Chain A
Amino acid sequence: MSLNTATEAIEGGQLLRVLGRLDSSTAPVLEKALLGLLEQDGARVLVDFAALGYVSSAGLRVVLMAAKQARLVKGRLVLCELQPHVADVFEMSGFTRILEIAESEAAGRARLVAP
């Protein structure tokens, strides 16, 4: 098992698709990809978790770092398409209350361009 990411430019920012298993051994892959997209002032990133089957606290740590970074550069981080087990882990951590999470990719794209 591993983790892969793919980036594409979309209206308002960047879309990062995350595929595979996000745990302590693969978290550095996401950390590099995601923080790399949040370096410039005003950077906006939509993360698509449709193909993410598993996340542990090591993965949540990266998402939290990215959310803090997005705030620092006055940008935006939106997550979308959390699958049931992944959504459960976000819920258990309380992260659903402090992160911007959209149900669908379409809703996520809309949040990214919202003022």
Chain B
Amino acid sequence: MGNTGNTILELRLPSRLEAIAGLAEEVTAFLPDQPRVAFEINLCLDELLTNTISHGLGGAGDHFIDVRLERSDAWLEVVIKDDAPAFDPFAEVGPPDLDTDLEQRPIGGLGVHFVRTLVDVVGVSHEGGGNRVTLRKRLAGHAPAG
């Protein structure tokens, strides 16, 4: 990343679940030639933001969450910054057992599984307080280097 010619979308969202649908429209408009990537990234954003708002912030609607998308030819990078207590969703939630039958199937745990499935790289840091989640997804037509 960091090349000139990259396009950037930066948004500050109120910490309310109702704000996520509006974000999805902005992301779709930011990636007009990549509808499938837009859908997948929107699902990831929805799952992570829902976790932050419902659990990290305990439903408090008076915080803000910064979302930044940067797109190069080969990659899309997404950064989500919040001021909730430090939490790493990828370290603390194991993968769900997708083969469990209906009766035993636990409710929950799927959102993080979707994020892991749909992006190539996930990272979490807590520098300066809060949480900073970074997702990177390779765009179609660009094979991995090496």
A: residues with CB less than 8 A from B are 1, 21, 23-25, 54, 56-58, 60-61, 64-65, 67-68, 71, 85, 89, 92-94, 97-99
Chain B count of residues within 8 A CB distance of the other chain: 29
| B114–A89 touching, CB < 8 Å | yes
Q: Are B102 and A23 in contact (CB under 8 A)?
A: no
The reply to whether B105 and A64 form a contact with Cβ atoms under 8 Å apart is: yes
Q: Are B99 and A97 in contact (CB under 8 A)?
A: yes
Q: Does B20 count as interface, using CB distance less than 8 angstroms?
A: yes
CA gap between A47 and B108 in the complex, in Å: 21
Are the CB atoms of B107 and A65 closer together than 8 Å? yes
- Give B49-62 as 1s and 0s: 1 = Cβ < 8 Å from A's Cβ atoms: 01000100000000
Q: Are A21 and B50 in contact, CB atoms less than 8 angstroms apart? A: no
For the residues of A in contact with B, the DSSP-based class is: helix
Which of A25, A61, A67 is close to B102, meaning CB atoms less than 8 Å apart?
A: A67
Q: Main SS of the interface on chain B?
A: helix
A85 to chain B, nearest CB (A): 5
List of B residues within 8 angstroms of A60 by Cβ:
110
Cross-chain contact A98 with B102 (CB below 8 angstroms) = yes
Stretch at the interface among B6-14, B39-47, B65-73: B39-47
Contact of B20 among A24, A67, A94, A98 (CB under 8 A): A24
List which B97-141 residues lie within 8 A (CB) of chain A: 98-99, 101-103, 105, 107-108, 110-111, 113-114, 117-118
Docked-complex contact A25 and B39, CB < 8 angstroms: no
A1 to B110 CA separation, bound complex (whole angstroms):
23
- Which chain A residues border B22 with CB–CB below 8 Å? 1
A92, B17: Cβ atoms under 8 Å?
no
User: Which among B107, B108, B114 is the interface contact of A92 at CB below 8 angstroms?
Assistant: B114
Cβ–Cβ < 8 Å partners of B113 in chain A: 92-93
Q: B21 an interface residue at 8 Å Cβ cutoff?
A: yes
Partner of A71, one of B21, B103, B117: B103
Contact call B47/A57, Cβ cutoff below 8 A: yes
Contacts of A56 in B (CB 8 A): 43, 46-47, 50, 111
The answer to whether A98 touches B107 (Cβ under 8 A) is no
Q: How far is the CA of A93 from the CA of B111 in the complex (A)?
A: 9
CB neighbours (8 Å) of A65 from chain B are 107
Question: Is A23's CB under 8 angstroms from B110's CB?
Answer: no
